[in-house]
Amino acid sequence: MPNWIQGSLKVRGNYDNVVSFFKDGVDFIGKNYFKECLLTKKQPNYIFSFTDLVYINDTWRAFIEEDQTLYIEYKNTAKPITVCVNIRQAWVFRAEEFRQISKKYNIDIRLYGFEMGNQFCQEIEIIKGETTILKKITYNDYEWECPMPTLGG
């Protein structure tokens, strides 16, 4: 059984690309679902309900955590939208996997995670398919210095 790095996944991009990632880039199994809410004649809003773990496609054991609801509202603006979900992945976040996802869906990705078992944090940022931040953060006293020392492991 692996240790888990647990933390947040932020996805940023235009409305269509972000929705595409959550519709096509994850495997909805169990009771999970997404629903279109057509509130305008042009674009629907979306509700994604993650009641069980949801597998992130093209990754090695990365999952969106259960018991989350994500609402993506259509906004007629050039400004990108950002959404955030809690995730976990076996052992570490694999930057190359998320870099490929960023390229495939034309989205920016930011990950921050905690791994209590091996006592490290990890931060990754991918902009337009290019890794801009790739950090493994360690502490002299993990339990005291780490902001969330009980996550992951």
Q: Which sequence spans correspond to the domains of the chain?
A: 4-145
- Which pLDDT belongs to residue 148? 96
- Over range 29-44, report the average pLDDT: 64
* Six token digits for residue 123: 């931060």
3-class secondary structure, 115: strand
Other Cβ atoms less than 10 A from the Cβ of 56: the count is 21
Residue 44 phi, psi (nearest 5): -85, 160
Q: Is 67 left (phi over 0), alpha (psi -120 to 50) or beta?
A: left
3-class secondary structure, 91: coil
Q: What is the pLDDT of residues 129-145, one digit of tens each?
A: 999 999 999 999 999 99
Is 29 exposed, middle or buried (CB count within 10 Å of its CB: 0-12, 13-18, 19+)? exposed
Q: What is the pLDDT of residues 38-77, one digit of tens each?
A: 555 566 788 888 888 899 999 999 999 999 988 888 877 7
Give start and end residues of each alpha helix (H) in the chain.
15-24, 95-105, 142-145
Model confidence at 33: pLDDT above 70? no
Q: Half-sphere exposure (CA, 13 Å, Cβ side) for 15?
A: 14
Eight-class DSSP state of 100? H
Average pLDDT over the chain, rounded to an integer? 91
The class of domain 4-145 in CATH terms is alpha beta
Other Cβ atoms less than 10 A from the Cβ of 83: the count is 18
Which is more confidently placed, 34 or 111?
111
